[in-house]
Amino acid sequence: MSVLSDPVVAAGLSILGVPPLPDLRLLDEHIAVLDKAAAHHAGLADDSVGAIRLGNTNQGPAATAVRTHFTGGQGALPRADDLAHRLHTTADGLRTGKSYLEWIIGLLAATAAAAAVAVAYFPELLPRLAGTAKRFFGMIEDAMRSLGRIFTRLGERSTSKRVDVVAGRLHEQWRAPRRLEDGTFEPRIKSTTDSAWISRHGTDQVDIANTRYGDLPADWQKENKESARVAVHLVTDAKKEGVDTGSSDFMESASAKVHDAWLERNGEWAPPEQKLPYEELSEAEKEKDRVVVRKALDI
């Protein structure tokens, strides 16, 4: 039985004007569901390794491609591992929140019991007890804000990963027409100012066409990353608001915003035909912005 259902405590909380305190049983249910889901994903990672091994007798480029796909950033194995970790961290967050709440609720209950006695025998103590209770309740609100920030960060990491995926796909789309028969790409040499990249490679020259997005210097990732960030946020927000992201209305309004953001970054050097508002762009120019939105919708 919860201490909050004790009649003396309930009366004391009412005297102190403390808002209703939460029932923690639902928190237990969520923790149990998340623990089970985290364990399931850890098991799934093992089972999927077992399934890939069934085809391991195969050797050669195709077999290597399968294994790379399976273990690479978007493969089933890292996805299962990542989900196991996130679910586990979320459960831990709830567990920590629950322990903290139990502690504060205990303090509030003690204060409330004191108030129930004070109301009869020491009414002059009531304002001080009310102040103490208010501080304790403020601690609950602070804790909730901290937990909220942790959960936001856990979600944000997934957003930043999605941004990288979209940016990587935009880079692949850009270099695809440059593909040569031998599987390499027609070179496009550029200079970089990314000092970390320069010290790793011993040069400031980078062939951006023959470099995967993840291996590009930061300044050559930047433009695709910024476009991807805008589109991923637009799609995420639209989904949150229940907007039909498959509609042409969404595609056009999102593409217009991608274009506006691009102009803000590149307006200084943009050619006249790209400096126009989205509605006045040629179909070919509009399509460039739609591609970005489409990539964000695809993931």
Residue 97 as a binder of other proteins (CB under 8 A): the answer is yes
* Nearest approach, Cβ of residue 247 and other proteins (Å): 19
Considering only 13, 86, 197, 208, the residue that binds other proteins (CB under 8 A) is 86
Q: Name residue, tokens 């196991």.
A: 84
- Pick out residues in 168-227 that bind other proteins (CB under 8 A): none
Q: Which is nearer to other proteins, 154 or 256 (CB)?
A: 154
Q: Is 100 exposed, middle or buried (0-12, 13-18, 19+ CB in 10 A)?
A: middle
Considering only 4, 79, 210, 288, the residue that binds other proteins (CB under 8 A) is 79
* Choices 20-28, 252-260, 278-286, 289-297; region in contact with other proteins by CB under 8 A: 20-28
Distance CA 293, CA 260 (A): 13
Where in 161-210 does DSSP place strands (E)? 189-191, 205-207
- Specify the pairing of strand 205-207 against strand 189-191: antiparallel
CB atoms within 10 A of CB 149: 10
* Nearest approach, Cβ of residue 74 and other proteins (Å): 7
* Nearest approach, Cβ of residue 111 and other proteins (Å): 20
Q: Is the dihedral of CA 220, 223, 229, 231 positive or negative?
A: negative
Widest CA span in the chain:
93
Residue 76 as a binder of other proteins (CB under 8 A): the answer is yes
Site track 33-72 with other proteins (rule: CB under 8 A), x = hit: xx--x--xx--x--xx-xxxxxxxxxxxxxx--x--xx--
Contact 220, 171 (CB under 8 A): no
Here the tokens at position 144 are 């909730």
Helix (H) or strand (E) holding 51: helix 25-53
Considering only 113, 130, 154, 251, the residue that binds other proteins (CB under 8 A) is 154
Per the document, the length of the chain is 299
Contact 105, 4 (CB under 8 A): yes
* Nearest approach, Cβ of residue 290 and other proteins (Å): 22
Q: Which is nearer to other proteins, 131 or 155 (CB)?
A: 155
Q: Is 167 exposed, middle or buried (0-12, 13-18, 19+ CB in 10 A)?
A: buried
- Pick out residues in 133-152 that bind other proteins (CB under 8 A): 140-141, 144-145, 147-149, 151-152
Considering only 8, 11, 75, 219, the residue that binds other proteins (CB under 8 A) is 75
Residue 83 as a binder of other proteins (CB under 8 A): the answer is yes
Q: What torsion do the CA atoms of 64, 66, 68, 73 make, to the nearest 10 degrees?
A: 170
Distance CA 211, CA 178 (A): 12
The number of CA neighbours under 13 Å toward the Cβ of 190 is: 14
* Nearest approach, Cβ of residue 78 and other proteins (Å): 9
Considering only 155, 214, 267, 277, the residue that binds other proteins (CB under 8 A) is 155
* Choices 23-31, 215-223, 265-273, 281-289; region in contact with other proteins by CB under 8 A: 23-31
The site for other proteins, by CB under 8 A, has a size of 60
Residues of this chain that bind other proteins (CB under 8 A): 20, 22, 26-27, 29-30, 33-34, 37, 40-41, 44, 47-48, 50-63, 66, 69-70, 74-76, 79-80, 82-83, 86-87, 90, 94, 97, 101, 140-141, 144-145, 147-149, 151-152, 154-155, 158-159, 239-240, 299
